[in-house]
Structure 1
Amino acid sequence: MAALVPPFDEESAIAKVQRAEDLWNTKDPAKVALAYTEDSEWRNRDVFLRGRAQIIDFLTQKWEAEKEYKLRKHLFCFTHNKIAVEFEYEFVDADGQWWRAYGIEHWTFDEHGLMQRRDMSANNIPIKEAERMFR
């Protein structure tokens, strides 16, 4: 697959978002972390991370707790080296409660197409298994 690097146009921004969705749905923390710079900075709700090692630890814990995780991302807007996405994902917790998260992310990329900064805000709502959108 070709590298998707700034400056983004609509086609490359949509492709970058789809690539991120596909990558996160692997639920492979080490593989996901390679899409970020070595010193990438994250804000994930109220958690602040820096660097691939922290990203891997965070995602490992996330996907140990969030079983049957399935994510969808949608391009919201873009500019030269920035992309904003809306997203929703579903998971089931250890107690069997299903959840859907809704949120937005702002991404900033370096010249190689690696994400330097990721700011994420989201809310979780409890849902019934029958209300799941993603199977």
Structure 2
Amino acid sequence: MAEDAWNTRDPGKVALAYTPDTRWRNRSEFINGRDEVRAFLIRKWSIESGYRLIKEIWAHSDSRIAVRFCYEYHDENRQWFRAHGNENWEFDADGYMAVRHASINDVAIAESDRLFLWEEGPRPADYKGLSALGL
């Protein structure tokens, strides 16, 4: 569900999955609360064009999940990137994400090396995941 929501690139919709006082570390940026999440996502998707994301659960417990992910995007110069990352999530008793730690590395790729080629929006159900794509 998180992957599908992020692939909509709708900051308002994505922010609703987090507690009102959510705390994030995204790369070197620290974000507090839904309003800052929304503002961060607006900024992010204004510079990461053609964004497509695949997530894969790595491990979980009752209230915590570790996820690995990759996403592809291009900048204003049409340079494509594949971002590789790991996230640690902690949920509150109502199932909202209260804490998110994300470590992400961007690698420049040629447009011909793109792997995430579906139309904008959620990844189709029959589209390969990270492991099947060799990522």
Q: Which has the higher helix share?
A: 1
- When normalised by structure 1's length, the TM-score is 0.86
Question: Structure 1 residue 80: deviation in Å?
Answer: 1.2
C-alpha distance in structure 1 between counterparts of 2:34 and 2:98, whole Å = 11
Question: Which whole-Å CA distance do the structure 1 matches of 2:115 and 2:100 have between them?
Answer: 26
Deviation at 1:91, TM superposition (A): 0.1
Per the alignment, residue 95 of structure 1 pairs with 77
What RMSD over aligned residues (CA atoms) do the two structures have, in Å?
A: 0.4
Aligned to 2:120: none
The reply to whether residue 84 of structure 1 matches residue 66 of structure 2 is yes
Identity %: 48
In the alignment, the residues of structure 2 paired with residue 53 and residue 105 of structure 1 have an alpha-carbon distance, to the nearest angstrom, of 20
Q: Structure 2-normalised TM-score?
A: 0.86
Partner Cα separation in structure 1 for residue 27 and residue 43 of structure 2:
15
* Letter of the structure 2 residue corresponding to residue 50 of structure 1: N
How big is each residue's C-alpha offset from its partner over 1:45-91, in whole Å with a ceiling of 9 and x where there is no partner?
A: 00000000000000000000000000000010001100000000000
Paired residues, what number? 117
SS at match of 2:3: helix
**Alignment of 1:27 onto 2:9:** yes
Unaligned runs of 5+ in 1: 1-18
Query: Could you say which residue in structure 1 is the equivalent of 2:29?
Result: 47
Instruction: Give the alignment of 1:51-66 within 5 angstroms.
Output: 51-66=33-48
Match of 2:56 among 74, 83, 88: 74
